[in-house]
Structure 1
Amino acid sequence: MTLVRHFTTWAMLLICMMLIALPCNAAQSLDNDTAKIVSGIEKKYANKSFTADFEQASRLTALDVTEIAKGKAWFSHPGKMKWAYENSDNHEIITNGKELWIYRPQENQVMIGDAAPFFQSGSGGAFLADIRKIREEFTIEPGRSGENFAQLELTPKKETPELAKIRITVDLPGYEISVVETENIYGDTTKFIFTNIQFSTFDEQIFELTPPPGTEIIEMD
């Protein structure tokens, strides 16, 4: 696995951290404008299932390289998701909130692990699949805003080297999250642009994976 590809997979797992509920801390008092934005996205996303197309840009600052990927994602409360990549290696990252699979069909390989040790090792908190945790897991500050958008800067209350800051862009007046950008302490960033967001129910069997016969299975520690 190349360094850039390894970073892209790591960046994806970092986003996954934001989909699993962690123990809560005391909620922050917010100014009226910021509280209105947070309340808007809570109402939009809490306990919802949705799909979205995405474009991902992962940048390694030290090497000054950026890798672009795209695909489709599915989310469901609490902590279930599937990311299907459409780039050259066509891999999928799937979790039912308990188990985690990274499936690379072209390599006839699937990595399998327990979701909790990976996701709970960071401080991402629950984000897209349990948006209400945003108040409890992050210090929230307002960013840039305009007539049709608002930004929030989220700092984990328990910072780790892998996650120093998250910036989100919220489209107004619908309160859809169109951009999520994470940054680690080294300045490496991963930016997701979400489009074609659709709130609807779907068969949650997509959050399970049974490897095809003959697939190489690698256990993740």
Structure 2
Amino acid sequence: MKSLFHRISLNLFSSIVCCCLFFSTASATGSDIIKNDILDAIEKKYSGKSFEANFTQISRLAALDIIEKASGRASFSHPGKMKWEYMEPAHHEIITNGKVLWIFRPDENQVMQGDASQFFKSGAGGAFLSDISLIRKNYTISLKEITVDYVEMDLVAKTKKSDISSIVIRVSQKNSEIERVVTYNPYDDTILFEFSGIQFKKIDPGVFEFKVPYGVNIIEMD
């Protein structure tokens, strides 16, 4: 009888372990399916397309507990073209044609210019929005939160970057639009972008070029 009890106990234990392994594997597989479905949806929505959106930006410098807010309108075009036009708190523009980056501050009568790839290679500034294929290519992706309204995914760079440790994107369940992007650096500083009024449309390529106005000081960025 004692031996029979041990055999039943072992069989029951084995069954429980198998069930746990099955449900654990099934859960992981389910998460992968959801993740891939979301990635497929945003790639279909954004790949090779141009769009414009209003944005608000909240930047937090953790060490000094400083928070700054800004807002404006942004334009994106595949591949690698962006224009961020800040209207508040002060007017300035960040423009790139995918090769050259310009930062124009009319109040200071200056434009900074440099190699765009050096400044956006880690995904800073929402750079992947101008080439959505970079998400799968450059990041390890995991699900962070799922609600009826949105899905949040955590993106960790496959190649370690000194300025960006991770990026969290929020994707609408309704229309697969990226509503929020939050970047984190190794010092716990964050930059949050929220997008609204997204419009997919053709954009004149000239929007992503910048002609330095006469008399404006030019500063070369390394």
- Aligning the two structures, in what range does the TM-score lie when normalised by the shorter sequence? 0.7 to 0.9
Aligned to 1:169: 170
What secondary structure does 1:201 align onto?
coil
- Tell me the TM-score normalized by structure 1: 0.83
Matched residue, 1:75: 76
* Structure 1 unaligned residues grouped into runs of 5+: 1-28
Report how many residues are paired.
192
What does 1:178-217 correspond to in 2, within 5 Å?
Answer: 178-217=179-218
TM-score by length of 2: 0.83
* Pairwise CA RMSD: 1.6
For the 8 Å contact 1:123–1:158, the answer to whether it is kept is no
Using the TM superposition, give the Cα deviation of residue 87 of structure 1 relative to its aligned residue in structure 2, in angstroms. Answer: 1.6
Separation (CA, whole Å) in 1 of partners of 2:137 and 2:39: 12
Alignment of 1:124-139 (within 5 A): 127-139=128-140
Alignment of 1:14-93 (within 5 A): 31-93=32-94
Q: Deviations over 1:136-175 (max 9, x none)?
A: 2111000111112111011111122211110000011210
SS at match of 1:86: strand
8 Å CA contact 2:69, 2:89 repeated in 1 = no
DSSP 3-state at the match of 2:207: helix
Secondary structure of residue in 1 paired with 2:88 = coil
Counterpart of 1:133, as a letter, is L
- 1:203 and 1:114 mapped to 2: Cα distance? 22
- CA distance in 2 between partners of 1:59 and 1:156 (Å): 21
Structure 2: how far apart are the matches of 1:62 and 1:153? 23
Structure 2, unmatched stretches of 5+, are 1-28
- Rounded Cα–Cα distance in structure 2 between residues aligned with 1:123 and 1:86: 23
* Alpha-carbon distance in 1 for matches of 2:169, 2:118: 25
Moved over 3 A (4+): 122-126
Q: Residue 206 of structure 2 aligns to a residue in which SS? A: helix
More helix per residue: 2
Q: Aligned partners of 1:162, 1:112: CA distance in 2, in Å?
A: 20
Is the counterpart of residue 108 in structure 1 residue 109 in structure 2? yes
Post-superposition shift, 1:130? 1.2
Q: CA deviation at 1:74?
A: 0.2
Structure 1 distance, partners of 2:108, 2:187, is 31
User: What is the alpha-carbon distance in structure 1 between the residues aligned to residue 118 and residue 136 of structure 2?
Assistant: 23
- Do the aligned residues in 2 keep the contact of 1:123 with 1:160 (CA within 8 Å)? no
Give 1:117 deviation, angstroms: 2.7
- Maintained 8 Å contact 1:123/1:159: no
In the aligned structure 2, how far is the partner of 1:199 from the partner of 1:123?
21
- AA matched with 2:176: Y
Identity %: 49
Higher Rg? 2
